[in-house]
C-alpha cells in the first residue's frame, strides 16, 4: 500500500494522528490502513492509504495539517525510507568496553566512568567511576550514559587474533 507524508504543526503530531485514526475508524468507506508518527521526525505524519484521494478526504477540515497532500504534490514514499523509524535501535548501540562515558542520569549524574562490561539483553552497562579512589563496579542503564571518548585499548580477543 502507498504511504504518504503529511506536514503538521510541530508538537501536534501525536494529537493529530489520534484524530486522524479516530476519523478513519468512523469512516470505514475510506481505505486508510495506518497512521505513523515517527519519534525522531518533528512536523510529519505518515499515512498508509489506498490512494492520495483517500488521504485528502481524511484530512479535509483538520487543524494542524500544514500542507494538504494534493497541494504539496505528495508522492508515494517507499517503505524502505521508513525502516529506520520502524526498527528500534538498541540503547547501548555505540558503547564498547573500555569507553569513557559520562553518566547523564541517576545518583552518579555528571560522573565520568569507564565501561567494563555490557549486558545487551538487559541493555545495561557495568562501569567503574573514575573519580572514586576505590574502583567498585556499578551497573547502570544503557540510556543513562553517553560516550565521551572511544577506547584505544585492545580487548583480549583483538590481542589474541595477532598471536601465532
Task: With CA atoms as reference, report the closest residue to 23 among 57, 71, 66, 67.
Answer: 57
CB–CB of 101/115 below 8 Å?
Answer: yes
Task: Give the pLDDT score at 121.
Answer: 85
C-alpha cell read off for 37: 508518527
Residue 34 CA to residue 62 CA, distance in Å, equals 17
Every domain of the chain with CATH number 3.30.70.940 lies at 3-86
C-alpha cell read off for 4: 504518504
Upper half-sphere CA count for residue 138 (Cβ side, 13 Å): 21
Every domain of the chain with CATH number 2.30.30.30 lies at 100-151
How do residues 23-55 score in pLDDT, each as one tens digit? 999 998 989 999 988 877 888 888 999 888 888
Task: Give the pLDDT score at 164.
Answer: 44
Task: Give bridge partners of residue 32 from the DSSP assignment.
Answer: 49
pTM (2 d.p.): 0.57
Say if residue 137 is exposed, middle or buried (CB neighbours under 10 Å; 0-12, 13-18, 19+): exposed
Q: What is the CATH number of domain 100-151?
A: 2.30.30.30
Q: Which residue has the cell 567503574?
A: 128
User: With pLDDT > 70 as the criterion, what percentage of the chain qualifies?
Assistant: 86
Residue 76 CA to residue 48 CA, distance in Å, equals 9
How do residues 68-84 score in pLDDT, each as one tens digit? 666 556 667 888 888 77
Is the pLDDT assigned to residue 86 strictly greater than 80? Answer: no
**Is the domain covering 3-86 a CATH 3.30.70.940 domain?**
yes
Mean pLDDT calculated for residue range 51-68: 86
Say if residue 69 is exposed, middle or buried (CB neighbours under 10 Å; 0-12, 13-18, 19+): buried
Amino acid at each position: 500500500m502507498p504511504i504518504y507524508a503529511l506536514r503538521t504543526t510541530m508538537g501536534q503530531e501525536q494529537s493529530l494522528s489520534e484524530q486522524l485514526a479516530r476519523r478513519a475508524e468512523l469512516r470505514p468507506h475510506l481505505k486508510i490502513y495506518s497512521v505513523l508518527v515517527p519519534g525522531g521526525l518533528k512536523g510529519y505524519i505518515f499515512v498508509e492509504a489506498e490512494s492520495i484521494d483517500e488521504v485528502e478526504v481524511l484530512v479535509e477540515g483538520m487543524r494542524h495539517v500544514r500542507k494538504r497532500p494534493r497541494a504539496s504534490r505528495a508522492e508515494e514514499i517507499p517503505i524502505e525510507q521508513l525502516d529506520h523509524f520502524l526498527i528500534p535501535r538498541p540503547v547501548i548501540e555505540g558503547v564498547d568496553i573500555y569507553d569513557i562515558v559520562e553518566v547523564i542520569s541517576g545518583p552518579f549524574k555528571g560522573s565520568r566512568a569507564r565501561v567494563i562490561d555490557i549486558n545487551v539483553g538487559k541493555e545495561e552497562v557495568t562501569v567503574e567511576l573514575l573519580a572514586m579512589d576505590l574502583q567498585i563496579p556499578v551497573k547502570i542503564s544503557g540510556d543513562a550514559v553517553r560516550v565521551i571518548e572511544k577506547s584505544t585499548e585492545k580487548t583480549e580477543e583483538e590481542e589474541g587474533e595477532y598471536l601465532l
